[in-house]
Structure 1
């Protein structure tokens, strides 16, 4: 008994008293408020060292909260890409809604087990309510269901696995099965194919047209040829908002092809899907409602913090058949009408993810989300036109909110390599680069809900300054810059 009492005294340190909680909460709230308030003037990218962080060791005794907060402020949140900033326009920026952070704190504090309805009917209802709403956004029937995941990678994995299980693809027939996608498909699709064993299928990379969209004429021809060879065309993976350029594949035409040949139609709309909510953008997604499965990332264009993806499957029975399992020790939990998240994906233990979406949507309503999405589309078009008018070579007009540009007359990409290095060294706004058909392009992804006109104008100013710097260092370009004599 004495030993138990001694251990209890030490273990109770894990439950801070009210005064300590108040102190930590006050300092945390001050830290967050200072961070959010400083975002409009903070750089999008910062270099620096993390030496103190690297030297830290977990010991028997704890450290002061102030010291830990100082490490976080100076060597975590102040170094690298400022993901929460409106000046982050590289890759596909994540969200970071403050109201979602509040939801996460509430979810973590009450620590509801959100995997089965028996454990927490309310937590599961919140998640399933979000899934039903998301299915309605896509245009799916009531028979659809899905899973809230950690992101697009796991969401795509669940969908790919559902395809495999639904068609009974195994070692005896996988080498005859054919999967179609383009060079613009996200690399998480390749990872999902490897994880499910479908990398042993015949993988067809369908060429894209001049707008970087899947060429459906070539797709149809390839399917016919594969059928003629005795192969089994299985799956078409389309993209609604490619990472490189934001292109949307011709979804409706692909749906026609999949229906004709009785193939599974999957759409990776992790980045672009929520733009269907923006006024005037609905027609760009025509055909999405005809797909068999779709992936969307609320941590991208619904502005929720990282760790938020969703997979939706038109036929819930297909999803459940691929994931549902029974266990003897869980017999008390069976028999409820609600669909358990644990039966819709690989996770059993899981974060109460639904709350981080449910709270902001109900608190703010849909209107500001729709306005922010429409604003991003318009800002990207504004950026594209300004960059073009400033003498840059530009890609196709943006389908969504990604624009690509480069210094022209650069056949070996040497100037643009210097250009992107200069932009990263500047860091006021973070942009990224990609290679398309051997050309190095700079990407501007207008996705953050904190990106507004002043951030776009700052990006344009930074881009022009560094372009001029690169050209002056490398000799005067023969290209006339707009506005020059």
Structure 2
């Protein structure tokens, strides 16, 4: 076998431990998985300054915002669970994305959620004042007002803390205030979220800790293979729509090894 290095060795160790634990009796495995998931969630929320959050682990980076969208749809449309898409008819949901955001994300959301492309609203970036890669907050406010007047329901906004390629961060504090004004869900993603774990954090990034959810990709940041992405979120009913999940193998490995004496 070719040399895998320390990071590859950690990945193999995590998967091997997960495979071994899967052979445990069902009751013991359930208790251990619950403990690891709880500890991993607590550790991640403290590390990234996200108080009172829940965690959802997923392989595809886009799956986090898809699950969050489902959660918000179920929360905002009381009859959605029983009537499905028909419940959305009276007030069509609208998802707002930055023009500098991840290519293809909007189409993926509509495909997974069964929504028409008309439910997407692409917000232009500021080309007069400030960065050309930051979402135009004033124009977003205007677009939301127009959708409300048209009888639509502003559902969710995807903001960037590090736009793809350029690395710019949207005005997250202003976007959060705007989302609170219109009862919208704010989701944040981007590589700059990694700096939340540092002692000194810029105010623009620190504002991400006020968001309703954010997707982290520690595997990419640390160069660790086989580490899943994780979406931290806050909701009155964390178990809604089955969001809680089993922890990924590497997180399971690190957390289980810490608490072996207590398990």
Same fold, TM exceeding 0.5? yes
Map 1:457-468 onto structure 2 (within 5 A): none
Mapped to 2, the partners of 1:121 and 1:163 lie a distance apart of 29
**Structure 2: runs of 5+ lacking an equivalent:** 259-263
C-alpha displacement of 1:307: 4.3
Equivalent in 272, 275, 288 of residue 208 of structure 2: 288
Map 1:25-424 onto structure 2 (within 5 A): 28=1, 31-32=2-3, 35-36=4-5, 96=7, 98-111=9-22, 119-142=29-52, 144-168=53-77, 170-173=85-88, 176-186=92-102, 187-209=104-126, 210-269=131-190, 271-315=191-235, 317=237, 319-323=238-242, 344=244, 352-356=249-253, 358=255
Mapped to 2, the partners of 1:117 and 1:189 lie a distance apart of 41
Go from structure 1 to structure 2 and tell me whether the alpha carbon gap of 1:201 and 1:248 turns closer, same or farther (over 3 Å shift). same
C-alpha displacement of 1:257: 0.1
Mapped to 2, the partners of 1:359 and 1:188 lie a distance apart of 35
Work out which structure has the larger RCO, using CA pairs closer than 8 Å and 6 or more positions apart in sequence. 2
Note if contact 2:125-2:134 (Cα within 8 Å) is conserved in structure 1: yes
Note if contact 2:22-2:29 (Cα within 8 Å) is conserved in structure 1: no
Go from structure 1 to structure 2 and tell me whether the alpha carbon gap of 1:122 and 1:302 turns closer, same or farther (over 3 Å shift). farther
Go from structure 1 to structure 2 and tell me whether the alpha carbon gap of 1:356 and 1:110 turns closer, same or farther (over 3 Å shift). closer
**Structure 1: runs of 5+ lacking an equivalent:** 1-27, 38-95, 324-342, 363-485
Mapped to 1, the partners of 2:176 and 2:76 lie a distance apart of 18
Note if contact 2:17-2:253 (Cα within 8 Å) is conserved in structure 1: no
- Find the residue that maps to 1:165 and give its secondary structure: helix
Name the count of aligned residue pairs: 246
Instruction: Compute the TM-score of the two structures, normalised by the length of structure 2.
Output: 0.79
C-alpha displacement of 1:163: 1.6
Cα displacement string for residues 129-159 of structure 1 (whole angstroms, at most 9, x for unaligned residues): 11122223343332x2122221412222211
Note if contact 2:196-2:206 (Cα within 8 Å) is conserved in structure 1: no
Note if contact 2:48-2:197 (Cα within 8 Å) is conserved in structure 1: no
Q: Which has the larger radius of gyration?
A: 1
Note if contact 1:253-1:287 (Cα within 8 Å) is conserved in structure 2: no
- Find the residue that maps to 1:120 and give its secondary structure: helix
C-alpha displacement of 1:204: 1.0
Mapped to 1, the partners of 2:106 and 2:48 lie a distance apart of 20
Cα displacement string for residues 384-427 of structure 1 (whole angstroms, at most 9, x for unaligned residues): xxxxxxxxxxxxxxxxxxxxxxxxxxxxxxxxxxxxxxxxxxxx
Mapped to 2, the partners of 1:283 and 1:351 lie a distance apart of 31
Mapped to 1, the partners of 2:107 and 2:23 lie a distance apart of 34
Go from structure 1 to structure 2 and tell me whether the alpha carbon gap of 1:274 and 1:159 turns closer, same or farther (over 3 Å shift). same
Cα displacement string for residues 213-255 of structure 1 (whole angstroms, at most 9, x for unaligned residues): 1111111111122222222211111122222222221111100
C-alpha displacement of 1:189: 4.7
Note if contact 2:160-2:170 (Cα within 8 Å) is conserved in structure 1: yes
RMSD, aligned CA:
3.0
Mapped to 1, the partners of 2:50 and 2:233 lie a distance apart of 8
C-alpha displacement of 1:112: 5.3
Mapped to 2, the partners of 1:316 and 1:357 lie a distance apart of 29
Go from structure 1 to structure 2 and tell me whether the alpha carbon gap of 1:118 and 1:219 turns closer, same or farther (over 3 Å shift). farther
